[in-house]
């Protein structure tokens, strides 16, 4: 999944990004409200972590502009612990959840995963398709209960398809959610990752829909 972190405290921004990347998220960053608003308005993020006390443009204004522009990605706002009014303002502006500073990184990760699941209409961190099981909390994949070792990119492709199980996902959509904004994106590499996944999973769950993209469904003999 691809996330945006908008936080002007560079140390905290870095800590958030490191924790999210370690959890197999792709992360873009912004350090002020203007830059954050632009990225959130032009890139397809699965979720955003947004500080409210930003320079250039405050977080509430950023959020209101996104929602006015019909940007529907889930947003987790960061608030000061003793500012309950900020929490109310954030929710009223369109935030989906909030975390008070200082916070435990594990809580942020859990809330981000929950927001992404909720936006996709999924209730659990466990995804199953036929014999394939993906545990999003542990970034672990098994087939018939046997662990399968995947590269980070292979895991991200599988996780995105599993999150949107049954829906056709285009190569372009996969590419947009697989790489950060600075990466030299090439949709042809998606074919390579899908080919490797099929070999490693050794089960026919990833279907190629000619001219449209890929869809993950249980194998016909399941």
What are the extents of the domains in the chain? Answer: 2-119, 126-216
Q: What angle do CA 25, 35, 96 make, to 5 degrees?
A: 55
What pLDDT, on a 0 to 100 scale, did the predictor assign at position 221? Answer: 52
Q: What is the CATH number of domain 126-216?
A: 1.10.10.10
Helices (H), 32-134: 33-42, 59-68, 84-93, 105-119
What pLDDT, on a 0 to 100 scale, did the predictor assign at position 181? Answer: 67
What pLDDT, on a 0 to 100 scale, did the predictor assign at position 188? Answer: 73
Specify the fold of 2-119. Rossmann fold (3.40.50)
The 8-class DSSP code of residue 166 comes to T
Helices (H), the chain: 10-22, 33-42, 59-68, 84-93, 105-119, 152-163, 171-178, 188-201
pLDDT in tens, the chain (222 residues): 899 999 999 999 999 999 999 998 999 999 999 999 999 999 999 999 999 999 999 999 999 999 999 999 999 999 886 677 888 888 999 999 999 998 999 999 999 999 998 888 876 788 999 999 999 888 899 999 999 999 988 999 999 999 999 999 998 888 888 877 666 566 678 888 999 999 999 998 999 999 899 999 987 654
Of 164, 160, 144, the C-alpha closest to 193 is: 160
Tokens representing 93 are 């502006």
Alpha-carbon distance 155 to 197, whole Å?
A: 9
29: left (phi over 0), alpha (psi -120 to 50) or beta: beta
Its pTM stands at 0.79
3-state secondary structure of 14: helix
Alpha-carbon distance 143 to 170, whole Å?
A: 25
What pLDDT, on a 0 to 100 scale, did the predictor assign at position 26? Answer: 93
Q: Respond yes or no on whether the N-terminal peptide bond of residue 102 is cis (omega within 30° of 0).
A: yes
- CA 82, chain centre distance (Å): 29
**Under 8 Å CB-to-CB from 165, ≥6 apart: which residues?**
127, 129, 216, 217
What pLDDT, on a 0 to 100 scale, did the predictor assign at position 187? Answer: 61
Tokens representing 139 are 């970034």
Tokens representing 113 are 């995963």
What pLDDT, on a 0 to 100 scale, did the predictor assign at position 197? Answer: 94
């Amino acid at each position: 999944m691809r996330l945006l972190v908008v936080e002007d405290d560079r140390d905290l921004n870095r800590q958030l990004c490191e924790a999210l990347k370690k959890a197999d998220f792709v992360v873009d960053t912004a350090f002020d409200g203007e830059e954050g608003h632009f990225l959130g308005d032009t890139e397809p993020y699965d979720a955003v972590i947004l500080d409210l006390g930003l320079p250039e443009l405050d977080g509430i204004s950023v959020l209101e502009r996104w929602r006015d522009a019909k940007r529907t990605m889930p947003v987790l706002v960061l608030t000061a612990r003793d500012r309950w009014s900020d929490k109310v303002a954030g929710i009223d502006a369109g935030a989906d959840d909030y975390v008070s500073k200082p916070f435990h990184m594990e809580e942020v990760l859990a809330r981000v995963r929950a927001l992404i699941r909720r936006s996709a209409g999924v209730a659990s961190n466990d995804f199953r398709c036929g014999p394939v099981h993906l545990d999003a909390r542990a970034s672990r994949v098994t087939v018939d209960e046997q662990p399968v070792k995947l590269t980070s990119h292979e895991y991200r492709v599988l996780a995105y398809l599993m999150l949107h199980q049954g829906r056709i996902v285009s190569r372009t959509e996969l590419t947009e959610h697989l790489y950060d904004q600075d990466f030299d994106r090439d949709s042809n590499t998606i074919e390579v990752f899908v080919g490797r996944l099929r070999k490693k999973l050794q089960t026919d769950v990833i279907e190629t829909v000619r001219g449209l993209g890929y869809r993950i469904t249980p194998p016909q003999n399941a």
